Amino acid sequence: MGDVDDLLRAAFLGLLQAATEFLPVSSSGHLVLAPELVGDDVSTLTFDVALHLGTTIAVVAYFWRDWARIVVSGVRDFTQHGLRLTGWSQYSLLGLWVVVATIPAVIVGLLFGDTIDEQLREPWVVGLTLIGFGLVIGALDRWGGTVARLLDMTAGRAATIGLAQAVALIPGVSRSGITIAAGRGLGFDRPSAARFSFLMSAPVIFGAGVLTFGDALSGDESLNWGPMIVGGVVAAIAGALVIRWLLRYLETGTLLPFVWYRIGLGTLVLVLSATGVI
C-alpha cells in the first residue's frame, strides 16, 4: 500500500499546487500545512520540478491561442520593423510586456532568493503576510478601475505589475493575488488583470522549475517516476480547470471571498505556529 499512498499524496499535492498557484490564496501558506496533512515523503526537489512543469503546461495549453498570436506576430513584426515598436501589433507588444513584467522577479530572485528562503519561510511570517497582503489585495480590488482591457497593457503598467510579482517572492503574499490586485489598481477589469497575471506566470513558474531541477541534479535524490508523473499530470489538468473557473468567476465576482479565506488561513497558521504544531 506504500506505493499507492505515495501516488495519492502526489495527486493531492498536484491539486494543491494547481489551486494555490492560480487562485489568490498563496501556495506557501498551504505548503507549511501540507506536511501535517500528507507527510513530506513525496515533497522532494524532483517532485517539485514535476509540479512546476505541470502548472506551466496548464498556462501554455489554456492560453495557446494567445501564445500562438504572440509568437507569430512577434516574429513577423521583429523581422519587418526591428525594435521600432510603433510598427508592432498589439499581440507582439503584449509578448514584450510579459517579458518586461518578468524582469523584476528574476532580478529580486537572483539577488535575494536564498535570503528569502532562509529567513522568511517561517510559519509566523507566512501567517502575517497572508493576512496583511490579503487586506491589500482586497483594497486594490475594491477600489480599482475597470476601464482597461488586456491589450491596453503598456510598458509602465507591465513593469508595475512585475514589481508586484517580485514582492510575491515573500512567502504568503500570493503571486496571482498581488499581480491581479496590481492590475486592478492600474485600472484593468478583473478578467483582464487575471489573464495578464496568468500569462506572465508562465516564464516565472518555468524558471522556478528549472532552478529547482538544477538543485535536484546537484543533490543525490533518486527519481520516483510514479509520483512525479501523477503529480505533474494532476497539476496540469487541475491548473487548466482552475484558470478556466477563475476567469469565469471574475466576470461577475470579486476577490473578497479569497481575502476572507486568506485571513482565516493566516490566523490558523499563526495559532498553529504559536502552539508549536508547525
What does the chain look like in DSSP terms, one character per residue?
Answer: -HHHHHHHHHHHHHHHHHHHHHSTT-HHHHHTTHHHHH-SSS--HHHHHHHHHHHHHHHHHHTHHHHHHHHHHHHHHHHHHTT-GGG--HHHHHHHHHHHHHHHHHHHHHHHHHHHHHHS-SHHHHHHHHHHHHHHHHHHHHH----B-GGG--HHHHHHHHHHHHHTTSTTS-HHHHHHHHHHHTTB-HHHHHHHHHHHHHHHHHHHHHHHHHHHHHTTPPP-HHHHHHHHHHHHHHHHHHHHHHHHHTTT--SHHHHHHHHHHHHHHHHHHHTT--
Q: What is the pLDDT of residue 48?
A: 75
Confirm if 25 and 264 have CB atoms less than 8 A apart: no
Higher pLDDT, 20 or 216: 20
Per-residue confidence band for 216, with pLDDT thresholds at 50, 70 and 90: low
Q: What is the pLDDT of residue 133?
A: 97
Higher pLDDT, 217 or 168: 168
Range of lowest pLDDT (41-45, 100-104, 167-171, 274-278): 41-45
CA distance 240 to 248: 13
Per-residue confidence band for 154, with pLDDT thresholds at 50, 70 and 90: very high
The number of domains in the chain is: 1
pTM of the model: 0.91
Q: What is the pLDDT of residue 193?
A: 97
- How wide is the angle at C-alpha 183 spanned by C-alphas 132 and 87, nearest 5°? 155
Identify which of 53, 147, 161 has the alpha carbon closest to the alpha carbon of residue 98.
Answer: 161
Q: What is the pLDDT of residue 225?
A: 78
Kindly provide the b/e burial profile for residues 67-90, where b requires at least 16 CB atoms within 10 angstroms of the residue's own CB.
bebbeebbeebbeeeeeeeeebbe
C-alpha cell at 76: 513577423
26-79 residue pLDDT tens: 887 787 777 666 555 555 556 777 888 899 999 999 999 999 999 999 999 999
Domain that holds residue 162: 2-274
Which residues make beta-bridge pairs with 188? 148
CA distance 207 to 216: 14
Q: Residues near 254 by Cβ (< 8 Å), separated by ≥ 6?
A: 141, 142, 190
Asked whether residue 164 carries a pLDDT value surpassing 60, the answer given is: yes
Higher pLDDT, 129 or 45: 129
Per-residue confidence band for 7, with pLDDT thresholds at 50, 70 and 90: confident
